Structure 1
Amino acid sequence: MRYLALLLCLIGSSLSAQTPAEAARSAMAQLEEATIQLDAADTARDRVRALTDAVQAFETGLAAMRDGLRAASIRETELRRDLDARDAEVTRLLAALSSLGPDARPQNFVHPDGPIGAARAGLLMASVTPALSAAASGLRSDVEEATVLRQLQQEAANTLQTGLANIQTARTALSQAMADRTDLPRKFTEDPVKTALLIAATETLDGFAAGLTQISENEADLDLPAASDRKGQLPLPVVGEILRRAGEIDAAGVTRPGVLIATRPRALVTTPTAATIRYRGPLLDYGLVSILEPEPDILFVFAGLDTVFGETGQVLPQGSPVGLMGGPAGETDDIQSPSGERAGEALSETLYIEVRLGDRPEDPLGWFTQDKGRTE
């Protein structure tokens, strides 16, 4: 019964271990596809769009690789520890199988008590041999699985290095492509003097938002798709985890009307809808900010960026890059770490999102779907 319990345990573990390996292989395929997209971006007519897609593909692939490899590494560690803990039991199992030999028959169990003892030996042999063989098969399967998981992680190392290097290349190319872009329509021209005066006179985001219309000149009448018609259906501008919702108190005891999203370092932030850049630059204690206007009297505020794209007054198509989050580039050791000792660095950056309707803020989660973010 003890060996039967061991067998059941091993079979259950083996079935559950297939997902990490498959996930890691799928992630490797995603990174390879992202590399193809990056190569194709050089010849794409809309290079910004192509590079944006490539960066997002790399982010998705690296996130999947991180999850898949970490799960595979954890599974391998569990198997190794389980086998080490059962070392004595495995030794006894192997000894029992060895003593039976390949041609074990009931005669091997002949008992001095005669026919009755022999019959009992035969019954014992008939019940024990399949259980021992099955347990041995389960052990062999787990050892092979642990070996496959180790080989998978080793094979993934080169893919990871290439993926991390390529996403850095894609981000750099995207920044340059945005700087070189000349095809974006412009709704107004910014007056830098008025902008400087507004910033100097501003003490709150409310006051700054209220004065944004004062910094523009030669404003054109451009019709953009109404964002309010898709309220509740707009994608979140970045992939991440919602840390704090509107109205919740932070560690400093401050309550803000926006949401705070934890992102991975250097994550790409995009506009959820076509919008005019009303302001880009440092603001108060919000850090680097990009304020978008999808339609009159509606503002999307993205704060905490490390890099901002575009120029004030330009109109960005939906899905266009708005900026990049800060933080160091990812490292292979971080992604492969089985213990998660560096897991805190995986989502180390924070993006603050505020939505303003007229002179008052609204809950951003009432505007955006949450399928692009994570709430784990």
Structure 2
Amino acid sequence: MSQLFSPVSFGPLTLPNRIVIPPMCQYSAEDGRASDWHAMHLGNLAQSGAGLLILEATAVEPRGHISWADLGLWDDATEAALAQVLGSVRRWSSMPLGIQLAHAGRKASSARPWDGSKQIAADDAHGWPVVAPSPRPFRAGDPAPDTLDEEGIAAIVQAFADSPVRADRLGLDLIEIHAAHGYLLHQFLSPLSNQRTDGYGGSLPNRLRLLMEVFDAVRAVVSERMAVGVRICASDWVDGGWDLAQSETLALILEARGCHYLHVSSAGLDERQKINIAPNYQVPFAQAIKAKVRMPVIAVGLITEPDQAESILRHNQADAVAVARGMLYDPRWAWHAAAALGDSVVPSPQYLRCEPRDVRHLFTAR
């Protein structure tokens, strides 16, 4: 058996293989409510043969949307809509399902990518005032975000504590706290965006404080069957910003607090970032952090080929690999990977007859 198709455990949750479909925003929700698009999209990915499907960045409060069309989980209406979608997905797939809980902070109130992604004015029908640790906008020329005071920070922590209760009721298997890609929790971590002088800014322990409060709040409310992990950025790719050394410290602290896994990405906080994008360009970050901790680490970023993914695992650079856009392009990526590596997958019985003649080992019946 290949490493890619061997099981791995994230705390209480065991995955049948090490292929993770990471969160990918669909910009297709209605007032935070999941739509028919989500039923189709997630239903398709749930037939992929991957080991884990993590739902897109899901806002814990209305201000936390990246765009007006992003998914949310903050009230009975958003919970009910997601319950309907997940009911359809679960009927036909037993794939483990997680959800990424997020707050966009100063990167909120943005247009959908195909509409340009620019920030929308607060007085526009699709805009609203955004919040951040400090009054520094993400893009030059954007209005300064509102600075969160301690009461506002406490409300954010409470929102992050409320959403997992709903996720638990929905039967989801995993919570991923989004502390990456320049969104609110990452904004508090990085000295480029956090210029506070109170207990939430300045020193590294102070900049970690909000994420620690959120993590502890989430762990306190979810049932023991649920895995809880964190997605982090290992580097801002800007001098003087968040970097690998700070990420390694964060990883050790999170592990000591009971974190079940880390999902290691990079960038997204500062327009000045300079990245040499190539296959595996973020894998060294995952490898460095994996060397410091015992909990599983997910690598992500231009991992597109089965032998590439297998090599990452065999060289102990990560414990699992995230295949994002590659999975959108080829929703049967895991099937094709199993065929290439001499492994097998368990498809839904409706698909058993499509097994290729020259790969008769590929499908295993349930």
Shorter chain as denominator, the TM-score bin is under 0.3
Report the structure, 1 or 2, having the larger helix content: 1
TM-score normalized with structure 1 length: 0.24
TM-score normalized with structure 2 length: 0.25
Give the greater-gyration-radius structure (CA).
Answer: 1
